[in-house]
Structure 1
Amino acid sequence: MTHESTRRTVLLATGATGAAVFVAACGGGGDGSSSGESPAGTKSAARGGGRLAATDEIPVGGGKVFADRKVVVTQPEAGEFKAFSAICTHQRCLVSSVSDGMIDCPCHGSRFRVSDGSVVNGPATQPLPAERITVEGDSIRLA
C-alpha cells in the first residue's frame, strides 16, 4: 500500500520547529505585491518606482491596467489620480479593464469603483488595496 504525504503528515513528522519553518515558507506572499518592496526592503524590479504613464493616457472616469506591474491607475475626476492593486480580492485574478467608472475582473464578474476601489459587484467582498503613486507634471509613477 502506498502512502502519499500530506501537508498534515509532513507537519506532524517534522515537529514544532519544522512546522514553523514550513509555515514561514508558505506565508504571506513574500513577493512585495502590496508594498512594492522585496523582503530586503529595496524596490523590486517588477514593481519599482518607474514611470507608469503620462497623465493624458488615463481617461477621466476611467483608467488603465498595467498588468506587468499589477496595478491599475484611475482618474475619477479631472486631475485626480488613484492607483489600486490590479489583483482581484476574490480569487486573485488580474483585473482586465476599466470603463464606465468601474474596474472589471473577468474571472467571476467582480466590479470595483474607480474612485476608491470599493466593491460594486461581487463575488469579491473586499476592496482593491490602494497603491501609492506620484504625479509630477504629466508623469505618473509608482511610488
Structure 2
Amino acid sequence: MHAGRRTVLTAGAAGAAGLVTACGSSGDGGGGAASAPKTSRGATPSTGAGAASAGAGAASAESSAPAGEALAKTSDIPVGGGKVFEEQEVVVTQPKEGEFKGFSAICTHKGCTVVAVSDGTINCPCHGSRYRITDAAVVAGPAPQPLAAERITVTGDTIRLG
C-alpha cells in the first residue's frame, strides 16, 4: 500500500510542477517580449511602496545586485516615467522632479518581469497588469498586490541600489 501512495504523491508533484511551469509560458498572451516568470522574488511581495525598504528587507536581501551598486544617473530616469533594470529586478521611477522611487520589477501576478514604464504606470507584458509609478499600487489587474518596494539611494546624480 505504501508504494501506491508514494506513486500517487510523486505523480501529483510532477503534475503540479508542470502546471507551475505552464503558468508563465510565452503562450500567455505576452508575446516574445515577455520575460519568463521569476521565482527569486515576488512570491511574498510587500504591500509597502516607495523608496523605503520592502518589509524586513527581504526583497533587498534577495537582489542579485550588491548593495550600493550604481544603477543609473538621475538624468537617465525621466520625470513622470521610469526605467526597468531587468538584471537587478528593479524598476526606478521619478513621479515628480527630484523624487525617485524603487520597486521590484517582478509582477505580483505570475512573477513575470515588468518591461516598461509609460503613461504613469509600470507595465507587465504577460497579462496586462499595470502599477502606478508613485506607489506601485495596482492600476489594472490581474495583479493582486502592489509591487514590493526596493531601497534605493540617490547621492548627487547617481542612483544606487540599497
Q: Shorter-chain TM-score: what band?
A: 0.7 to 0.9
- Structure-1 residue corresponding to 2:66: 48
- Structure-1 residue corresponding to 2:92: 73
CA RMSD of aligned residues (A): 2.7
Task: Note if contact 2:41-2:106 (Cα within 8 Å) is conserved in structure 1.
Answer: no
- Structure-2 residue corresponding to 1:90: 109
Indicate the structure (1 or 2) with the bigger Cα radius of gyration. Answer: 1
Moved beyond 6 Å, runs of 4+: none
Partner Cα separation in structure 2 for residue 9 and residue 101 of structure 1: 43
TM (norm. structure 2) is 0.65
Per the TM alignment, residue 48 of structure 1 is displaced from its structure 2 partner at its CA by 1.3
Q: Which runs of 5+ in 2 are unaligned?
A: 14-38, 43-57
* Inter-CA distance 108–36: structure 2 relative to 1 (3 Å threshold): same
**2:35 pairs with 1:35:** no
Partner Cα separation in structure 2 for residue 75 and residue 134 of structure 1: 13
Partner Cα separation in structure 1 for residue 85 and residue 12 of structure 2: 41
CA deviations on 1:36-63 (whole Å, 9 max, x unpaired) are 326xxxxx6x221200000000000000
Per the TM alignment, residue 125 of structure 1 is displaced from its structure 2 partner at its CA by 1.8
Give the match's secondary structure for 1:91. coil
Task: Note if contact 1:134-1:142 (Cα within 8 Å) is conserved in structure 2.
Answer: yes
- Structure-2 residue corresponding to 1:140: 159
Per the TM alignment, residue 5 of structure 1 is displaced from its structure 2 partner at its CA by 5.4
More helix by share: 2
Q: Which runs of 5+ in 1 are unaligned?
A: 11-28, 39-43
Partner Cα separation in structure 2 for residue 75 and residue 138 of structure 1: 13
* Inter-CA distance 91–140: structure 2 relative to 1 (3 Å threshold): same
| Higher RCO (CA-CA < 8 Å; seq separation 6+) | 2
Partner Cα separation in structure 1 for residue 125 and residue 11 of structure 2: 34
Identity of aligned residues (%): 56
TM (norm. structure 1) is 0.73
Q: What is the total number of aligned residue pairs between the two structures?
A: 118
